Amino acid sequence: MLLDNFFKLKPLRWFAVWAMIVSGCNAAIHLESRWMYWSWDSFSLYLFFAFVLSSFIDFIFITKLSNRNGKSFYIEQLIIILYGFFLFSLGSNPLNLSLNLLLVGFPYILFFYIGHLTWKIPLKIFRSSKPNKKDFAPLLLITIIFTFIASMAGYLNDDPMISTIAAVYLPFPLVAIVFPPGIRHLQRCRMYVIFIPLMFLSMRHPWLILITGPLFLLSRYYFYFTHGNVIPTFKVDQPD
């Protein structure tokens, strides 16, 4: 019962939310120390409250967004981008906002939006015996272009973190659009658009593993023993 109430908060979304919080923290620290690596000191009481606050704000955000009947597609995209900016600025501390921070933060926010676009591609199109690539190719193409821009922007900002994150992720949507339609390609796109930034950010902020690891294991335990589903997972397979 307790876990049921907990999972009503949609904690699987927290992986992406927390990644943006840490991205803001990482960008702020990057401007002071470009060579920072494996720093336990980057965690603070402020970040702890930012994690807690963002988790509850996210539940309110998705509730309000899902209840917007007849919302414009473009309005929804703008809301998502602004939401990514909000999470980034919360992680970096709004008092630290500056033009340099916004320039460094741009590719992080763009990658957050890339994740949104990736998860917007419906997997139900593969229920057809002959799925049509035209149903998801436009979004994949936009994702590829934006991922390349994020990587180049990170490179121009001399930020090895986001430039590498985007570069490592880029082959996944490329494979999905070049090869014949396959649900496994899109499943990998969905998983790694979250996993890659979390793992790279953990190289600078190792305490992030101690936060995301228990949530990952608890979620697998809950969904397996209550619904028989192994999620979250790195398994790619044709769904039943």
Can you give the three-state secondary structure of the chain, one letter per residue?
A: CHHHHHHCCCHHHHHHHHHHHHHHHHHHHHHHCCCCCCCHHHCCHHHHHHHHHHHHHHHHHHHHHHCCCCCCHHHHHHHHHHHHHHHHHHHHCHHHCCHHHHHHHHHHHHHHHHHHHHHHCCHHHHHCCCCCHHHCHHHHHHHHHHHHHHHHHHHHCCCHHHHHHHHHHCHHHHHHHHCCCCHHHHHHHHHHHHHHHHHHHHHHCCHHHHHHHHHHHHHHHHHHHHHCCCCCCCCCCCCC
Q: Peptide bond before 206: cis, by omega within 30 degrees of 0?
A: no
Q: Phi, psi at residue 10, to the nearest 5°?
A: 60, 55
Q: Round to whole Å and give the CA distance between 162 and 154.
A: 6
pLDDT at residue 29 tops 70: yes
pLDDT at residue 55 tops 60: yes
Res. 85 pLDDT band, cuts 50 70 90: very high
Percent of the chain with pLDDT over 70: 95
- Joined together, the tokens standing for residue 73 give 């597609």
Count of residues making up the chain: 240
The whole-number average pLDDT for the span 13-27 is 96
Res. 175 pLDDT band, cuts 50 70 90: very high
Radius of gyration in angstroms for the set of CA atoms belonging to the chain, rounded to a whole number: 18
Q: At a CB cut-off of 8 Å and minimum separation 6, what does 83 contact? A: 61
Q: Round to whole Å and give the CA distance between 239 and 235.
A: 11
- Rounded to the nearest integer, the mean pLDDT of the chain is 91
CB distance 42 to 203 below 8 Å: no
Can you give the pLDDT at residue 125?
81
CB distance 214 to 222 below 8 Å: no
Q: Round to whole Å and give the CA distance between 149 and 145.
A: 6
Q: Domains of the chain: which residue ranges?
A: 2-227
Q: Regarding predicted confidence, which is higher, 51 or 75?
A: 51
Around Cβ 166, how many Cβ atoms within 10 Å? 26
Can you give the pLDDT at residue 71?
64
Q: Give 64-73 pLDDT, tens digit per residue.
A: 776 665 567 7
pTM, two decimal places: 0.93
Reported as half-sphere exposure (CB side, CA atoms, 13 A), residue 65 has a value of 15
